[in-house]
Amino acid sequence: MSAWSWVTVATWTVVAVVAVEVVRRVLRWRLIGERWALAGPLVRRCTWPGFATAAVGTAAVVYDPRLVAPATDRWLSRVFTILLIICVTWLVIQAAYAVTDVILDKLTRIEDTADHRVRRMRTQIGLIRRVSAAVVSIAALGAILFTFPEVRALGAGLLASAGIAGVVAGIAAQSTLGNLLAGLQLVFSDALRLDDVVVVQGEWGRIEELTLTYVALRTWDERRLILPVSYFTTNPFENWTRHGSRILGHVYLHVDWTVPVEEVRAELYQALRGNPLWDQKDWTLQVTDITPNGLVQLRATMSAADSASVWDLKCDMREHLVKFIREKYPESLPRFRMDLQDGGPESRPR
């Protein structure tokens, strides 16, 4: 009778797993997958958690305590309970990630990925699901601990000194808690988002990862600068995409006084019109300064859709203007004048 009962438990467990497999195949059916956006993420994330939950849950329900000795039944029941808590926690977290995957996929398909509202929603959704996963995991850990009678008895005594323990834990974890609060403040105040272009400590880069404890900055040369979240709430930094990604760039040229400014200005405009990186909006060329060594400083200003485009556009225009002046007006290249008095040893530069 005992052996047959174990066969019954195994049979029902297999049936539960097969039922989950049937649901998985139905969700993978083309007609459902095309009409229900959540089907794909559920299959991708919840297949193995579903198998585990179905198997453990069914075995825990069908299991008869009379199959084993009372002493064995106590620890076996506890094992079933702990495994079931772990499997359900895994399934809940993965299901929540599947739901948010649908939203993130829709945001990714939006054409204007530079829109600050899209990046803000991506950042907040990513942080919310991390926080939710942490909360669910902590609740599951507490549920597992309370399956032990010794822990339940100890918990009743600890509640009396919870205030003192909370103060001590707060002091010990002050830095960690500060980073957690700073992360929430950054995300929900919209001060920093994923893919934001920032300048931190003289380093230009994009926000690659934003968590509750640290921020990963990908620099232009593919390095990663890891900073605590609290840094961004206590130190100033430049955010080039706070309200939009469009940006102005400028190029400086130092040339001789004989440079024909109008011709250089016209050439800059023609070059910008033929460059796809220019957003067809702002441009100018001005004489902004006369240097102490007798050169004229020209500043060419141009706009582009984002910081990466404006960098390439600046390089293109700088190269083009240097070539234009060198070929068309070589007499306007930078030169230093010297006033030789009598041509003798007392000759000195001016």
Domain coordinates of the chain in residue numbers?
2-179, 194-239, 247-332
Position 168 confidence tier, pLDDT thresholds 50, 70, 90: very low
CATH of domain 194-239: 2.30.30.60
- Beta 197-200 vs 278-290: how paired, if at all? unpaired
Q: Is the pLDDT at 250 greater than 70, yes or no?
A: yes
Q: What is the mean pLDDT of the chain?
A: 81
Percent of the chain at pLDDT above 70? 80
Residue found under tokens 């706070």: 242
- CA dist 252 and 318 (Å) reads 8
Range with the largest mean pLDDT of 33-37, 148-152, 191-195, 227-231: 227-231
Residue 328 is predicted with a pLDDT of: 92
DSSP 256-312: -TT--HHHHHHHHHHHHHT-TTEEEEEEEEEEEEE-TTS-EEEEEEEEESSHHHHHH
SS3 of residue 34 by DSSP: helix
Of 253, 232, 331, the C-alpha closest to 295 is: 253
CB of 316 closer than 8 Å to CB of 303? no
Q: Looking at the DSSP assignment, which residues form a beta bridge with residue 178?
A: none
Residue 214 is predicted with a pLDDT of: 85
194-239 matches 247-332 in fold? no
- What's phi and psi for 223, nearest 5 deg? -85, 165
- Residue 199 in tokens: 């300048």
Order of strands, sheet of 197-200, starting from the edge strand that comes earlier in the sequence: 224-228, 214-219, 203-210, 197-200, 238-239
The DSSP output letter for 202 is T
Looking at per-residue confidence, does 344 or 287 come out higher? 287
Position 178 confidence tier, pLDDT thresholds 50, 70, 90: low
- CA dist 253 and 326 (Å) reads 12
Residue found under tokens 């000795």: 69
- What letter represents residue 108's amino acid? T
Of 251, 222, 246, the C-alpha closest to 307 is: 246
Q: Is the pLDDT at 131 greater than 60, yes or no?
A: yes
- What letter represents residue 261's amino acid? V
Q: What is the pLDDT of residues 214-228, one digit of tens each?
A: 889 999 888 999 998
To the question of pTM greater than 0.85 for the whole model, the response is no
Distances (CA, A) of 296 to 62, 98, 238, 265, 315: 89, 61, 31, 14, 20
User: What are the residue ranges of helices labelled H in the chain?
Assistant: 2-27, 30-35, 39-62, 70-109, 116-145, 149-160, 162-172, 174-188, 231-234, 261-273, 307-328
Polymer length of the chain = 350
DSSP 145-164: HTTSHHHHHHHHHHHHTHHH
Residue 91, burial from CB neighbour count under 10 angstroms (0-12, 13-18, 19+): buried
- Residue 5 in tokens: 């009962």
Phi-psi region of 222 (alpha: psi -120 to 50; beta: other; left: phi over 0): left
CB of 119 closer than 8 Å to CB of 194? yes
HSE of 174 in the Cβ direction (CA atoms, 13 Å)? 4
HSE of 125 in the Cβ direction (CA atoms, 13 Å)? 19
247-332 classified as CATH 3.40.50.1860: no
- CA dist 89 and 315 (Å) reads 53
The region of weakest confidence among 48-52, 59-63, 179-183, 257-261 is: 179-183
Position 107 confidence tier, pLDDT thresholds 50, 70, 90: confident
The region of weakest confidence among 58-67, 141-150, 169-178, 247-256 is: 169-178
